[in-house]
Structure 1
Amino acid sequence: MSAPHTDVEQVELANTAFYEALERGDFEELSTLWLTPSDLGVDETYHDPADTGVVSCVHPGWPVLTGRGEVLRSYALIMANTDYIQFFLTDVHVSVTGDTALVSCTENILSGGPAPEDGDGPGPLVGQLVVATNVFRRTDAGWKLWSHHASPVLTENAEGEDDESTG
């Protein structure tokens, strides 16, 4: 098997691991999937990690989050406030050039918030269609997320008007 084909498969596995960690609410696993300064050989004792390989994330409707701390806090917040989430990925395209990989995909998201006060299980399930771009960097430990950018898809509602896809 050729190296480029192997790289694509490894990036696909890293991308899948990211979404599966989100679905399980596994913050520890999710944290290991994001790039760290040490993954880039940056000694944080002598260099500001913000100067090298800073990670970034844009959740639908959120401002740009930069830095590992901000990005991971956002996922902790999402996990703490979402009882159920499932991603059905479509239109997945992977491109690898050297030590950088780009994954574009459509996230078909089914989620539910906190359980209602009078019942069990998640709140009402909501569907959302989002397009995402995930950028990975090759590290000694494998492919790690460098950037995630997700944006809602506008769809046409019953009246023929553009509407944000929310289910």
Structure 2
Amino acid sequence: MSAPHTDVEQVEAANTAFYEAMERGDFEALSALWLTPSDLGVDETYHDPADAGVISCVHPGWPVLTGRGEVLRSYALIMANTDYIQFFLTDVHVSVTGDTALVTCTENILSGGPAPDAGEELGPLVGQLVVATNVFRRTPDGWKMWSHHASPVLAENDEEEGDETPS
């Protein structure tokens, strides 16, 4: 496979790498995909990293997390408590303007937690449908994640329950 040539292809590759790092449970690879103050040319010895290029993340059902420390701790926690996760991305749309890119997609997630008892197989798998917006910023080292926001999608049955009219 050849290297991506256009900005859109490069952003798609960075987005894919993010989800693949999650699936592998590769915390180091995932961390390297997130924007750092030095990616923005900020000297961390003279500036508070929390003030420069603050990254943010919203996991479904979680509050907004800001700053590298909070965001990366959340992924470490998720990886430590999830034995299996797989993302099937659909409806992927990429938009690039200058040094900023926006990716919207639907995450069809299949995951499983620890086995109920030691020595057993993986716990039951659970499916979840989530919509996500991923914001990337161009850096000298390529496109890096600036923000990830994911929200669960209500099942059609959930929406219809409140819409019933009496006969």
- What's the TM-score, normalizing by structure 2? 0.91
Structure 2 counterparts to residues 44-59 of structure 1, below 5 A: 44-59=44-59
Residues 117 and 142 (structure 1 numbering): CA distance in 2 closer, same or farther, change over 3 Å? Answer: same
Query: In the alignment, which residue of structure 1 is the partner of 2:82?
Result: 82
Residues 142 and 119 (structure 1 numbering): CA distance in 2 closer, same or farther, change over 3 Å? Answer: same
> Separation in 1 of the partners of 2:110 and 2:26?
18
How far residue 118 of structure 1 moved from its aligned partner, in angstroms, is 5.4
Moved over 4 A (4+): none
Query: In the alignment, which residue of structure 2 is the partner of 1:123?
Result: 123
> Separation in 1 of the partners of 2:146 and 2:159?
40
Structure 2 counterparts to residues 1-167 of structure 1, below 5 A: 6-117=6-117, 119-157=119-157, 160-161=160-161
Code of the aligned partner of 1:36: T
How far residue 17 of structure 1 moved from its aligned partner, in angstroms, is 0.2
Code of the aligned partner of 1:136: F
SS at match of 2:79: helix
> Separation in 2 of the partners of 1:56 and 1:134?
10
Note the residue ranges of structure 1 that are not aligned, 5 or more in a row.
163-167
Note the residue ranges of structure 2 that are not aligned, 5 or more in a row.
163-167
- Segment drifting more, 18-27 vs 111-120: 111-120
Number of residues of Structure 1 aligned to a counterpart in Structure 2: 158
SS at match of 1:60: coil
SS at match of 2:137: strand
How far residue 49 of structure 1 moved from its aligned partner, in angstroms, is 1.5
Listed one character per residue, the Cα deviations across residues 104-135 of structure 1 (whole Å, up to 9, x for unaligned) are 00000000011120553321000000000000
How far residue 52 of structure 1 moved from its aligned partner, in angstroms, is 1.5
Listed one character per residue, the Cα deviations across residues 46-101 of structure 1 (whole Å, up to 9, x for unaligned) are 11112220000000000000000100000000000000000000000000000000
SS at match of 1:117: coil
Alpha-carbon RMSD across the aligned residues, in angstroms, is 1.5
Residues 45 and 158 (structure 1 numbering): CA distance in 2 closer, same or farther, change over 3 Å? Answer: closer
SS at match of 2:39: helix
Q: Highest Rg: 1 or 2? A: 2
SS at match of 1:138: strand
